Amino acid sequence: MTTARDIMTADAECIGANESALLAAHKMADLGVGALPICGADERLKGVLTDRDIVVKVLAADRDPAEIKAGELAQGEAVTIGADDDASEILRTMSEHHVRRLPVIDGHTLVGMVAQADVARALTEPKPVGGMWHGT
Contacts of residue 2, Cβ cutoff 8 Å, sequence gap at least 6: 86, 87, 122, 123
pLDDT of 134 above 70:
no
Q: What is the mean pLDDT of residues 76-88?
A: 91
Q: Would you state the pLDDT for residue 129? A: 53
Q: Which helix (H) or strand (E) holds 97?
A: helix 87-97
Is residue 134 a part of any domain in this protein?
Answer: no
pLDDT of 93 above 90:
yes
Is residue 112 a part of any domain in this protein?
Answer: yes
pLDDT of 88 above 80:
yes
Report the sign of the C-alpha dihedral through residues 41, 35, 8, 87, in that order: positive
- More confidently predicted of 87 and 131: 87
Is residue 64 a part of any domain in this protein?
Answer: yes
Total domains, the chain: 1
Q: What is the CATH number of the domain that holds 96?
A: 3.10.580.10
For 96-124, write each residue's pLDDT tens digit. 999 999 999 998 889 999 999 889 888 77
Q: Would you state the pLDDT for residue 126? A: 57
Is residue 132 a part of any domain in this protein?
Answer: no
Interior/surface letters 96-129, b for 16+ CB within 10 angstroms, e for the rest: eeeeebbbbbeeeebbbbbbeebbeebeeeeeee
CA distance 25 to 65: 9
Is residue 135 a part of any domain in this protein?
Answer: no
Is residue 131 a part of any domain in this protein?
Answer: no
Q: What is the mean pLDDT of residues 50-70?
A: 96
Is residue 133 a part of any domain in this protein?
Answer: no
The range of the structural domain enclosing residue 122 comes to: 4-126
Q: Would you state the pLDDT for residue 136? A: 44
Is residue 31 a part of any domain in this protein?
Answer: yes
Q: Across the chain, what does the average pLDDT equal? A: 88
**Strand 132-134 to strand 127-129: parallel, antiparallel, or no bridges (unpaired)?**
antiparallel
DSSP three-state, residue 18: coil
